[in-house]
Amino acid sequence: MIHLPVFKKEVLEYLDPKPNQNLIDATAGGGGHLFSLLEKIAPQGKVLAIELDSELYNRLEKGRPERLVLVNDSYSNLKKIAKREGFEGVSGILFDLGLSAWHLKESKRGFSFKTREPLDMRYSQKSGLTAGEIVNSWSFEKIENILKEYGQERFAGRIAKGISQQRKIKPIETTSQLVEIIAKATPGFYKRGRIHFATRTFQALRIAVNNELANLENVLPQTLEVLKKGGRLAIISFHSLEDRIVKNFFREKEKENILKILTKKPITPAKKEIRENPSSRSAKLRAAQLT
């Protein structure tokens, strides 16, 4: 399956890669941005690509070009990885925080509410917590809280109550069971909305399972130590909470004269891109330069 990268042209514009520079793609995924970056920094430039998911890592490892350094780890360890691999003082770092098309359509780990799959939702099979564990063992209050906070789900209480009641009857093991619970817990008009009624619940569980917001907050200060003076940072987010973390970090560091913001407002996808790649609709790109 071909992964359609979001903001392919804009990433190249804002990172502005030049021949022989070294770059980091902190979220390699399906390699959507990776190969266009490698092309721009030829003949000598290298890309350090970090990918947490071992299955995606193995796919990229097959036929890996010589100028690509590939690491199977979390971007939250960016500084340590960059130091170990000799990528300190790089010209640019890219984060594409979106869920890859492969995860949704091929991983069979319960990221999608469209097919019957086990409730896993882990990017790394080495991490312990699964979505199944959350829905079957976390308290009503804790589940309601993550649905509200991470999913911005208006019917969080009703869905959490439905989950609590259903698991007393039998364990909730599949995506289909969960979708059914959400359907019963939410009013009719909600099922006719623009986005699927299960979207926010699935998003909240995925964020909680993979500790996504804490990892982002943890890595942003590390980027300042890995970039060289004049180096650029481009971050694509798909969630308002992620975007707020990035926006606040950029503003704070601009006040401290550490970063110069290159995107006064976040870049959003053009209608043509949304048509060709509907999953890009919520994407926002922000970029900054180390002063």
Total of domains in the chain: 2
Say yes or no to pLDDT of 277 above 80: no
Structure tokens at 102: 């492969």
Q: What are 19-43's pLDDT values in tens digits?
A: 999 999 999 988 889 999 999 999 9
Report, as an integer, the average pLDDT of 283-287: 96
Structure tokens at 72: 């199977």
In a domain, 229, yes or no: yes
- Give, in order, the Cα–Cα distances in Å from 281 to each of 71, 108, 210, 278: 30, 24, 22, 6
Assess whether 220 and 283 both reside in one domain.
yes
In a domain, 146, yes or no: yes
Assess whether 114 and 79 both reside in one domain.
no
d(Cα 119, Cα 122) in Å, to the nearest integer? 9
- Give, in order, the Cα–Cα distances in Å from 126 to each of 25, 54, 101, 120: 22, 9, 21, 12
Assess whether 113 and 85 both reside in one domain.
no
Report, as an integer, the average pLDDT of 144-148: 98
d(Cα 11, Cα 36) in Å, to the nearest integer? 10
d(Cα 201, Cα 189) in Å, to the nearest integer? 17
- For 224, residues 6+ apart whose C-beta sits below 8 A from its C-beta are 253, 258, 259, 290
Q: What are 216-270's pLDDT values in tens digits?
A: 999 999 999 999 999 999 999 999 999 999 999 999 999 999 999 999 999 998 8
- What integer pLDDT is reported at residue 1 of this predicted model? 31
Answer for the pair 25, 47: CB distance below 8 angstroms, yes or no. Answer: yes
Confidence of residue 113 (pLDDT cuts 50, 70, 90): very high
Assess whether 196 and 252 both reside in one domain.
no
Report, as an integer, the average pLDDT of 179-189: 97
Q: For the chain, what is the radius of gyration of the CA atoms?
A: 20
Q: What are 60-106's pLDDT values in tens digits?
A: 999 899 999 999 999 999 999 999 999 999 999 999 997 888 888 88
Match 């979708």 to its residue by tokens.
Answer: 179
- What integer pLDDT is reported at residue 246 of this predicted model? 98
Say yes or no to pLDDT of 2 above 50: no
In a domain, 71, yes or no: yes
- What integer pLDDT is reported at residue 5 of this predicted model? 81
- What integer pLDDT is reported at residue 145 of this predicted model? 98
Q: Tell me which of 180, 210, 240 is where a domain ends.
A: 210
Assess whether 218 and 91 both reside in one domain.
yes
Instruction: Say how many C-beta atoms besides its own lie within 10 A of residue 127's C-beta.
Output: 13
Report, as an integer, the average pLDDT of 3-17: 89
Assess whether 114 and 176 both reside in one domain.
yes
Question: Bridge partners of 96?
Answer: 236
Q: What is the pTM of this model?
A: 0.92
Report, as an integer, the average pLDDT of 126-148: 96
Domain that holds residue 168: 108-210
Assess whether 32 and 92 both reside in one domain.
yes
In a domain, 3, yes or no: no
Say yes or no to pLDDT of 141 above 60: yes
